[in-house]
Homo-oligomer: A and B are copies of this chain.
Amino acid sequence: MEKIMLNFNNMGVAQSEIAGIGDKIADAVKAMGDKRSKMAWRDLPYNQDAVVCDILEYAEEMLPKIKSLVVLGIGGSALGPIALQQALRSQFYNLHNQFRDDFPQLFVLDNIDPATMLDLLAVIDPETTLFSVVSKSGATSETMAQFMIVKGLLERELGAEKARRHIVCTTDAENGNLIKIARTEGYKTFYIPSGVGGRFSQLCPVGLLPAAFTGVDIKALLAGAADMDKMCQNADYMANPACAFAILHYLAMKQGKNITVMMPYTDKLKFMADWFAQLWGESLGKEGMGQTPVKALGTTDQHSQVQLYVDGPDDKIVVFLGVEDLDVYLQIPEDFTDMPSIGFLGGNTLDELLQASQKATEYALTKAGRANMTITLPVIDEHTMGQLFYMLEVATAFAGELMGINAFDQPGVEEGKNAVYRHFGRPGY
């Protein structure tokens, strides 16, 4: 199977800098080993045979009955599913069945804008819609508010008995209100294993369920993650993609580079940058430390952000996501050969223009002394996407060890949550 590759020649890091934190790296490697049993997300590539069967059986049962899948979830419950679907399916998936092959439309409601929700509810047909409610704690205000609205709507339109077959819950198996409600109401349920936090949940049912419902091969996704897990055990840490990614980011942070830009050069990977922004930002942004993730897209942002990246402050890393073979060719006709500024385009393909633009941006940044690295996927498929998700998760955990912080909590959001509870008069707040 083909493996994703990291190229960090343009990071401008000397071997001596890496050697200089050798002890810290060794400690982090040891800690990642010692704590592996506590990082339940690391085992997801291996221990889900029964879960995968359950999801595939449920999909087989439901798919003939539905035309829309609406995910109610926010944060990791939304970002991973969106990123994966965008990577593997057409950008116009929802718009035309020819890109869906009769799989349902996928809507992810990861905000509580009332206009968006009302408009969506106006155009889906409850009879042919499955609502997937995703909240580990069962107390995520946004998701639970949406669930309450949907439950009311379904019960009104379909009656309570039928309504319950249009709701599936993915939540903790033991704790929280959502599992209680699901048991009382008799909803189909999938579980988020304990030890798997929201932003590390893409390879559990949170990500697998919507993937299976949109025609993604979830076994291949997990197999890709398992292959990456092996690569992430390479003791030569600069040949270990997760370690190298973490170490180079850590060194950059120490140099004051407080921004990391993820810049895919294909529409398909645009939302990987959103998924990564949560993973990196929420895991490592604490105790006054952390790096602000920025989402960019090539070539689009060459006309928006590259001026800043090349000529602005030297305060960031750019991580390019490239694809060796996009497998789609669209030729630019030979025309306007008398006009030098555009005639040179003729005869080439958009793919070549995209690839050349990525190389040119790498070159321009490097020439300006700006740190950049490139992650290259040989192709975009389930197997490489599984590798990419898993690699970035391990890299984030590893960076947490280097920084000496807990990458798995999010204490900084409590203040805001409490303020909302107080506003609404939740008892005890």
Contact = CB atoms under 8 A, between A and B. Distances in A.
A137 B341 CA distance: 10
A307 interface: yes
Contact of A411 (B115, B294, B311, B314): B311
Task: Give the interface centre of A99, A112, A411, A418 by most chain B CB atoms within 10 Å.
Answer: A112
Given A311-B412, A413-B310, A120 B92 contact: yes
Nearest to A346: B148
Contacts of A356: 419-420, 423-424
Interface in A304-345: 304-316, 326, 328-333, 335-336, 339-342, 344-345
B425 A74 contact: no
A416 B310 contact: yes
Given A148-B335, A313-B288, A350-B112, A367 B415 contact: yes
Contacts of A110: 300
A267 B116 contact: yes
Given A114-B330, A115-B268, A151-B335, A288 B312 contact: yes
A177 interface: yes
A262 interface: no
A112 B354 contact: yes
A294 to B, nearest CB: 6
Contacts of A300: 74-75, 78, 110-111
Given A292-B259, A306-B412, A312-B292, A114 B149 contact: no
A336 B181 contact: yes
A292 to B, nearest CB: 5
Given A294-B292, A412-B307, A426 B340 contact: yes
Interface string A170-209: 0000000100110000000000000000100000000000
Given A258-B258, A344-B424, A416-B357, A99 B74 contact: no
A410 interface: yes
Contacts of A419: 356, 359-360, 363-364
A428 interface: yes
A424 B359 CA distance: 12
Interface stretch (A54-62, A229-237, A277-285): A277-285
A411 to B, nearest CB: 7
A115 B326 contact: yes
B299 A111 contact: yes
Contacts of A74: 299-300, 303
B111 A145 contact: no
Interface in A258-282: 258-259, 266-268, 274, 277-278, 281-282
Interface string A88-127: 0011101110110000000000111111111110110000
Interface residues of A, number: 131
A389 to B, nearest CB: 16
A188 to B, nearest CB: 19
16 contacts: A76-B303, A78-B300, A91-B120, A95-B123, A111-B298, A112-B354, A115-B268, A278-B305, A285-B309, A285-B311, A285-B312, A289-B312, A292-B292, A341-B426, A356-B423, A360-B423
A43 interface: no
Contact of A341 (B139, B354, B425): B139
A96 B313 CA distance: 44
